[in-house]
Every structure is written in structure tokens, then in C-alpha cells.
Chains A and B, each alone.
Chain A
Amino acid sequence: MLKYVQRRLALAVPTVILTSMVVFLMLFLIPGDPASIYIGEQTATPERLAQIRHVMGLDRPLYVQYGDFVWHALHGDLGRSLQTNRPVTVEIGSRFPSTLELAATAMAIAGVLGFGLGLLSALRRSSIVDTLSMMVALFGVSVPVFWLALLLIMLFSVRLGWLPATSESGLRGLVLPAVSLALLSAATLARLMRSSMLEVLRLDFLTTARAKGLRGAVVVLRHALPNAIIPVITAMGLQFGSLLSGAVLTETIFARPGLGKLVVDSIQNKDLPTVQGVILVLALVYVAMNLLVDLSYAFIDPRIRFE
């Protein structure tokens, strides 16, 4: 088990390093002089630009600059926002809880809905329940989150006046953004859960379980479910990433002050340090999440541990 954990951790290290390189190189990939990009809309004489380049260390070799970027990032320094002049880490820190709250709530909704619908469909295969569940799932994977969010606002905020349309602290403000964000993931999980369960249900050991007289519920819950759930759990890890990035749209629509809205606003305002900071943080959270998922199914499936 320890060996498996070590191997997975070792595999995550190059990904983290390469991800930080990509984020670092964004400044140099944007056409134009990095110093002028860094000062944003302000104008400066060539002498002043050369001075900025020197102060920022842009005249040093690229690998030295990268080392510097990583060193500062490890010490919690991702530069200053060009818009607010506050440290990027402070900007991120103030908005991260809101995004996490949204993504976690959406994940919970998606998990319950996805597992439920998928399981029901698989157990009642080819019935009306199966057809209806899969139609809901097809709608779920086809409907854009931003349109669903607008429809929910029109119905529940504008027409019925039950829930707020824009950001409001507490549970009431979280319902519409979380539900609209969750639907796509719920639909994906439902489809996957159904096909995984159907695959497992026809395996020999389940025929054996039934043949030795076990009750249907025991066969499903004790024998089929733990085997069917592994690909679904993997997908949940990936879905959490989609939820984090989906928050970009949901937060923009509901004007929630989260990381998603921050990154879109920063791209529009050409605030590169903030864009770099937010993208780095979201990517690292996603890598960490996938690592956790990989480690978690080593607990669920002993075969993975002993590979």
C-alpha cells in the first residue's frame, strides 16, 4: 500500500512542476514585452520599461526567473493584482471559500442524483424508469450550465420570487448556483453508474451470489455496488475539476465573488498576475483532488493495492 502511495505521489510531482511552468510561461507567450504587459494600461518610456524589466528581474535567464517564481509561490507570494494592487494570494484567499462551498455543494447534489438515477436505471433496465432517467441524463449532458442557470433564475427568482438571483450569503443564495452547476455532473455520473452497474450485474460471481440464495438487496449492495462504484469514483474526481471550472460560468451569472469570476474579470482587465495565480491554484487543487481519488480507490479495491 505504501509503495502504491509513494508511486502515485512521485507521478504527481512532475505534473505539478510542469503545470507551474506553463503558468509561469504565460507571461512570455503573450505577444509583446512582458514588462509592458505587467504594467497593464499604463504608458512608460523605453528607459522606464528597461528599469521595470531590471527591477522585475526580466533581464535574467528564464530558468532563474522560473526558480524565483516557484520560490516566491512556495512562500505564498504570487505577485500583486494590477487592478487592486493587493497581493494575489489575498485576492485568492478571500474568494476561495466561496468557490469551494459552491463546488462541494454541487458535488454532493450531483453525487446523490447521479448515483440514484444510475442505480435505478441499471436495476430497472429497459423499464419506463430507465428510459426516463436516461432521458433526464441526456438532457443534463446537453444543456449548457449558463442557460440552465438563466432558466432557473427566470423561474425561481423573477417569476416566483422564491430564491435570490444574485449572490447572497447562506443556503438560499447557494441553491440556484449549486443546482445549475450540478446537473451536468449528475447526468454524467448517472450514465456511468448505469453502464458500470450493468457490466458488473452480468458477471459470474453475481450469478453465484444469487445461486447460493442471497437476497436481491444483499447481492446488489454487498457484491455488485462495490465493484461498480470504482469507475464512478474516478469520474467523481474528474467531475470535481469540471465543477471548479464550471464555477467560472456559474459565478459570473450569479455574480458570486469566487475564483471563477475573478479569473474571467482578470482576463478581461488584462490583469495577468491574478490570472496566473488563480489558474495555478485551481490546477493544483485539481491535481491534488485526482491524487486523493487514486489513493481512495486503493482502499476500496484491494487488487489495486497489491498490483
Chain B
Amino acid sequence: MSVLQASEPVRPPRSLWRDALHRLFQNKGAAAGGIVFLLIVGAAVAAPRLTPHDPIRLNVSESLDPPGARHWLGTDQFGRDILTRIIYGARVSTAMGFVAVTISVAGGSVLGLLSGYYRGTVDMTIMRLVDVMLAFPGILLALVIIAVLGPNLSSAMIAVGVSGMPVFIRVVRSAVLSVREFQYVEAARVAGCGDLRIIFRHVLPNVLSPVIVLVTLGIPGAIIYGAALSFLGLGIRPPTPDWGAMLSDGRAFMGTAWWLSTFPGLAIVVMVMAINLFGDGLRDALDPRLKL
């Protein structure tokens, strides 16, 4: 009997990505997070079919109705249904999360790739830029950008996106620094590939896994910062429903109508926790060594 026949059946080979996907689906927290997130996005897309109320039209006769059968989560000072505004508000929050992170990932990846691949002066210039961006912690860089561009939704998206760039630049750069030394990059260079082809065709696909993890962990941060800017009156303008702005409106009624601030905040927490759980699971799935 040969050695092969005697051994246990060997698991069929799986690619890195299929393996990661398999681990991801086995993680209950990540699966729950993913499902909750998809439900919220689905509700945001199907908002007009889900709720009979209008998110913007004023209805003063029903102002500040507490939660009940007619309005499950109550109404605001203008008589607008809170649940309806939360569902429609998910559109803004989701868009904020995705657009801002797209800006972060696009800008951050390109600069990180250039920095890590070319090194030398390009690297030093980009890294000093990162140092300067990091000198404005948290929401401060976003405030600088909003002070320049003016307070509105697109400024807020750009501001949150640009503020998120440094971490992408750093992570992509450090991944590129190791990948560029691999032999297949050398082989591509010997085969006559140009720098751009090497960077985007050979280096980029091999630094994608930390980028994907950062994307899932960056979206919740972007949603919170976006809501924070709206809360401060520096993001989306009324009457468009937005979770941060709804929270801010509710401040004046904290003593009399607790539901105005409580439910939009809860929506932010549920959304952010769901994506965080999914992101944590994805990180563990893509790089099991990090799981402690």
C-alpha cells in the first residue's frame, strides 16, 4: 500500500480567496454583521416601499407624538415619522461611508503604491505629506477641508475621505515595500514590463488583502465622522433626513421627547457595529495569524 493511499483523504486545494471566504462564513459574528448591514442597505434602497410616510413633508398636527402603533418610533417636532426618516437617512449614511472610503482607498492606494515602489524622493515627499495629514488628528483635518470648501454634503464626503487617506497610504506602502522585492516583480521587469504595468498588474493585486480589511474597518469610521459633521451643522443641510442631523435636532427636546435623539443614535450604533463585526471577521479570515 502506498503512502498516499494510507493517509487521510486530502482536502481539495482552495485558492487564498476561497479559503478566506470559507473562514468568513464560519464566523457567526461576521455573518450576523454582514446580514444586518445588508438589511439596512436593502431598507435604504427600498425605502419608499417600506414606509407610507413622507420623510420631509411637515405634519404639525402630529408633532412630537411618542412611539406607538401609528408611528412606531414616534414623530419629530414637525410631525415627521422618525422611523421613516431613519430609513431614508440610511441612504445618506451608506453613501457617506462608501463615497468617503472610495476617496480614501483610491487616493491612498495610488500614493502608497508610488511611495513604496519608487522609494527615494517620491517616498519621502509622500511620507511628509502623510505626517502633515496625521498632524491634524481625528475630525480636525475634516474641519480644515470643510473650512476651505464650505459646509455641505459633498464637502463632508471629500473631507472624511481625505482624512482617511493616510492610513491607506501607510499600509499600502509597507505592503508594496515587501512585494517589490519578490522575484515575480523582478521577472516582470526583466520581461520588459513598464513601471505602471508592474505596479497595477503585479504589485497591486498582491497588496489587496490588507486594503480590503481597511475598507471594511474604514466605512464605520466614515459613517460616524459623517454623522458628526452633520451633527455639528457642517454636513448635509435640512430637511434631507440624516442620522447625525436628526440627533442634533433632538437635543432641544431631550427633556420632553427622548425618542428624537435616541433612535437615530441607535441606528448609527447598529450599522457601525454590524460593519465592525464583519470587518473583524474579514480580517481574521484573510489573515488568520492576526486572530488572537
Contact = CB atoms under 8 A, between A and B. Distances in A.
A249 B229 CA distance: 9
Interface of A: 14-15, 18-19, 22-23, 26, 29-30, 138-139, 141-147, 150-151, 153-154, 158, 165, 194-195, 198-199, 238, 241-242, 244-246, 248-249, 252-253, 263-264, 267-268, 272, 275, 279, 282-284, 286-287
Contacts of B292: 194-195, 198-199
Contacts of A151: 261-262, 265
23 contacts: A14-B128, A15-B135, A22-B136, A26-B147, A26-B148, A30-B147, A144-B227, A145-B228, A147-B261, A147-B265, A147-B268, A150-B261, A154-B261, A198-B292, A244-B138, A245-B138, A245-B139, A245-B140, A246-B139, A264-B143, A268-B234, A283-B140, A286-B136
Contacts of B220: 142
A275 B138 CA distance: 16
Interface stretch (B69-77, B109-117, B175-183, B250-258): B250-258
A147 to B, nearest CB: 3
A253 B131 contact: no
A279 B132 contact: no
Interface stretch (B54-62, B196-204, B271-279): B271-279
Contact of A241 (B137, B262, B264): B137
Q: Tell me if A's interface is mostly helix, strand, loop or mixed.
A: helix
A141 B132 CA distance: 25
B87 interface: no
A144 to B, nearest CB: 5
Given A144-B268, A283-B135, A249 B128 contact: no
B273 A146 contact: no
Contacts of A144: 224, 227-228, 244, 265, 268-269, 272
B251 A15 contact: no
B139 A248 contact: yes
Given A14-B131, A15-B132, A29 B138 contact: no
A275 B149 CA distance: 14
B140 A279 contact: yes
- Which residue among A23, A147, A198, A286 has the maximum number of chain B CB atoms within 10 Å of its CB? A147
Given A15-B132, A143-B269, 5 more contacts: A142-B272, A151-B261, A238-B137, A268-B233, A284-B135
B287 to A, nearest CB: 13
A156 B273 CA distance: 25
B78 interface: no
A19 B135 CA distance: 7
Nearest to B124: A14
B251 A253 contact: yes
B231 interface: yes
A150 B151 contact: no
Interface of B: 128-129, 131-132, 135-140, 143-144, 146-148, 151, 220, 224, 227-228, 231-234, 244, 247-248, 250-251, 254-255, 258, 261-262, 264-265, 268-269, 272-273, 276-277, 292
- Which residue among A30, A151, A267, A284 has the maximum number of chain B CB atoms within 10 Å of its CB? A267
Contacts of A15: 128, 131-132, 135
A264 B231 CA distance: 11
B228 A150 contact: no
Given A138-B277, A151-B265, A268-B151, A242 B137 contact: yes
A26 B147 CA distance: 8
B142 to A, nearest CB: 9
A195 B261 CA distance: 35
Contacts of A30: 147-148
A184 B247 CA distance: 19
Given A144-B224, A146-B228, A158 B137 contact: no
Contacts of A282: 136-137, 140
Nearest to A165: B254
B137 A154 contact: no
A220 B131 CA distance: 35
Nearest to A272: B147
A248 B147 contact: no
- Which residue among B147, B248, B272 has the maximum number of chain A CB atoms within 10 Å of its CB? B147
Given A144-B224, A195-B292, A244-B137, A22 B132 contact: yes
Contacts of B273: 138-139, 142
A147 B258 CA distance: 12
Contact of B138 (A14, A246, A252, A284): A246
Contacts of B276: 138, 141-142
Contact of B254 (A22, A153, A238): A153
A141 B280 CA distance: 12
A264 B135 contact: no
What are the nearest 8 A-B pairs in CB distance?
Answer: A241-B137, A245-B138, A147-B265, A142-B273, A142-B272, A18-B132, A198-B292, A15-B131
A30 B151 CA distance: 12
Contacts of A272: 147
Contacts of B262: 151, 154
Given A29-B148, A144-B268, A267 B143 contact: yes
- Which residue among A29, A146, A195 has the maximum number of chain B CB atoms within 10 Å of its CB? A146
Contacts of A199: 292
Contact of B143 (A145, A238, A246, A263): A263
A183 B292 CA distance: 23
Contacts of B227: 144, 146
A238 B166 CA distance: 14
